[in-house]
Amino acid sequence: MAYIIPVSFILDRDDEWLSLKGSLAPEVQDGSTRASKTKSDKLEKFVGKLIDNDEPRRNFYLKGMPQIGLPDSFIDFQQITSIPFDHVQKHAKVIAKLNSPWREKLATHYAGYMMRIGVERIEGAARTQIIENLTAPIKLAVPPAT
């Protein structure tokens, strides 16, 4: 079982979202005027990435279901717990169902997140050298690592 967390809870703790939102004038934030085209595009791109579930992340977007009182939410793959199957059979009732192909996309997304393998990152001078080799002859405005 995984926790379902309202979108607002996740967004209010996301640095990129807070930065984008914070760059808006107060009258845009409160909805009394529209954002510029540039800022609208950035916000739309950010939110679009979240709701499309295109990249493996710890959260999976779940469209709200007002008929059962569920707001737009995320399923959080880091907040999981186990419940004995016999307990679920006796006490749980189905109140909503995730239809295909969303069910398969959720399973694939979960598997991709849980099967990540942590590897060491290339750092320092070796990283700088590789970046310089791959981007040659372009000169990047990045000082070499020490």
**pLDDT exceeds 60 at position 16:** yes
Domain assignment present for residue 18? The answer is: yes
Segment 85-141, tens digit of pLDDT: 999 889 988 888 888 998 998 999 899 888 888 888 888 888 888 887 777 776 666
- 142 within some domain: no
Range of the domain at 10: 2-135
Structure confidence at residue 139 (pLDDT)? 65
Question: Residue 131, Cβ neighbours under 10 Å: how many?
Answer: 15
In a domain, 35, yes or no: yes
pTM for the model stands at 0.67
Query: What is the band of 53 on the pLDDT scale with cuts at 50, 70, 90?
Result: confident
In-domain check, residue 60: yes
**pLDDT bucket at 144, cuts 50 / 70 / 90:** low
**pLDDT, average across residues 30-47:** 84
Residue 142 banded pLDDT, cuts 50, 70, 90? low
Instruction: Say if strands 73-80 and 59-62 run parallel, antiparallel, or are unpaired.
Output: antiparallel
Instruction: Tell me if 141 is assigned to some domain.
Output: no
d(Cα 62, Cα 55) in Å, to the nearest integer? 15
Query: Looking at the domain assignment, is residue 101 inside a domain?
Result: yes
How far separated are the first and last CA of the chain, in Å rounded? 46
Per DSSP, 24 falls in state: S
Q: Is residue 107 part of a domain?
A: yes
Check pLDDT > 80 for residue 21: yes
**Average of pLDDT values for 7-33?**
85
Q: Looking at the predicted structure, is the pLDDT value of residue 84 above 80?
A: yes
Give the residue-averaged pLDDT of 44-70.
Answer: 87
Q: Is residue 143 part of a domain?
A: no
Number of domains in the chain: 1
**pLDDT > 60? residue 143:** no
* b/e sequence 44-53, b meaning 16+ C-beta within 10 Å: eebeeebeeb
Which of 43, 41, 39 is CA-nearest to residue 17?
A: 43
Mean pLDDT of the residues in the chain: 85
Query: Residue 86 has what pLDDT?
Result: 93
Structure tokens at 22: 């914070």
Contact 142, 128 (CB under 8 A): yes
The span from the CA of 114 to the CA of 76, in Å, is 12
